[in-house]
Structure 1
Amino acid sequence: MATFDLELVSPEKLLLSRPVEMAIIPAAEGDMGVLPGHSPMIVALKGGVIEVREAGKQPERLFVAGGFAEITPTRMTVLADEATPVAELSRAQAETRMREAQAAYEAAAASGTPEAREAAMDRYLATRKMVDVAGAA
Structure 2
Amino acid sequence: MATFDLELVSPEKLLLSRPVEMAIIPAAEGEMGVLPGMAPMIVALKGGVIRVQENGAITEKLFVMGGFAEITPTRVTVLADEATPLAELSRSEAQARVKKAEADYEAAAASATPEEREGAMDRLLAAREMEQAAEAA
Q: TM-score, normalised by structure 1?
A: 0.96
CA distance in 2, matches of 1:30, 1:84: 20
Q: What corresponds to 2:51 in structure 1?
A: 51
Q: Which runs of 4+ in 1 moved over 4 A?
A: none
CA distance in 2, matches of 1:96, 1:117: 20
CA distance in 2, matches of 1:130, 1:21: 25
Matched, 1:90 2:99: no
RMSD: 1.4
**What are the equivalent positions in structure 2 for 1:4-23 lying under 5 Å apart?**
4-23=4-23
Q: CA deviation at 1:132?
A: 0.2
Q: What corresponds to 2:78 in structure 1?
A: 78
CA distance in 2, matches of 1:74, 1:136: 32
Kept after mapping to 1: 8 A contact 2:45/2:66: yes
Q: What corresponds to 1:123 in structure 2?
A: 123
CA distance in 2, matches of 1:110, 1:80: 30
Are the structure 2 counterparts of residues 18 and 136 from structure 1 closer, same or farther at C-alpha, using a change threshold of 3 Å? closer
Q: CA deviation at 1:59?
A: 2.8
| Higher deviation after alignment, 99-108 or 49-58 | 49-58
Note the residue ranges of structure 2 that are not aligned, 5 or more in a row.
Answer: none
In structure 1, the residue corresponding to 2:92 is in which secondary structure?
Answer: helix
Kept after mapping to 2: 8 A contact 1:43/1:68: yes
Note the residue ranges of structure 1 that are not aligned, 5 or more in a row.
Answer: none
Q: TM-score, normalised by structure 2?
A: 0.96
Q: What corresponds to 2:62 in structure 1?
A: 62
Percent identity (aligned): 77
Are the structure 2 counterparts of residues 31 and 56 from structure 1 closer, same or farther at C-alpha, using a change threshold of 3 Å? closer
Q: Which amino acid aligns with 1:5?
A: D
In structure 1, the residue corresponding to 2:8 is in which secondary structure?
Answer: strand
Are the structure 2 counterparts of residues 97 and 72 from structure 1 closer, same or farther at C-alpha, using a change threshold of 3 Å? same
CA distance in 2, matches of 1:56, 1:120: 38
Kept after mapping to 1: 8 A contact 2:51/2:58: no
